[in-house]
């Protein structure tokens, strides 16, 4: 059962463009919503994360937008660069009760030079 739905599965963006990846969740008990970035041949690494009491978080060119009522959150990559080409995973974490760390299915981003 996939509790975090991620879209699109793949994305191609021109250099300098905006990349947008969306995730939706079902369980309202999640405490954190991180995004991980994975380059080929490597393990995922934390990119940026947000708590549900915040609607937006920005770190450099990366922004998370969070809509608690819609149970959706998204990653925006501004001024996308070829070096951003990677697979991105959203995740949702529940630390109370049964521990859960649920990843989305991933989005393969390619930024064209």
Partner 1 sequence: DADVTQTPRNRITKTGKRIMLECSQTKGHDRMYWYRQDPGLGLRLIYYSFDVKDINKGEISDGYSVSRQAQAKFSLSLESAIPNQTALYFCATSDTGTLYNEQFFGPGTRLTVL
Residues that bind partner 1 (CB under 8 A): 6, 9, 32, 34, 41-46, 49, 89, 93, 95, 99, 101-106
Q: Which is nearer to partner 1, 56 or 79 (CB)?
A: 56
CB of 97 to partner 1, least distance (A): 13
Q: Which is nearer to partner 1, 57 or 76 (CB)?
A: 57
List the alpha helices (DSSP H) in the chain: none
CB of 104 to partner 1, least distance (A): 6
CB of 14 to partner 1, least distance (A): 25
* Phi, psi (rounded to 5 degrees) for 75: -110, 130
Sign for the CA dihedral angle at 76, 57, 91, 88 comes to: positive
By CB atoms closer than 10 A (0-12, 13-18, 19+), residue 25 is: buried
Quote the tokens at residue 10.
């793949």
Q: Which is nearer to partner 1, 16 or 101 (CB)?
A: 101
């Amino acid at each position: 059962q996939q509790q975090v739905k991620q879209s699109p599965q793949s994305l191609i963006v021109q250099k300098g463009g905006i990349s947008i990846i969306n995730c939706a969740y079902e369980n309202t008990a999640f405490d954190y919503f991180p995004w991980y970035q994975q380059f080929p041949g490597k393990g995922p690494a934390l990119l940026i994360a947000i708590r549900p009491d915040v609607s937006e978080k920005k770190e450099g060119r990366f922004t998370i937008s969070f809509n608690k009522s819609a149970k959706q959150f998204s990653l925006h990559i501004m001024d996308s660069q070829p070096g951003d080409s990677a697979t991105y995973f959203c995740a949702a974490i529940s630390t109370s009760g049964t521990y859960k760390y649920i990843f989305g299915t991933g989005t393969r981003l390619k930024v064209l030079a």
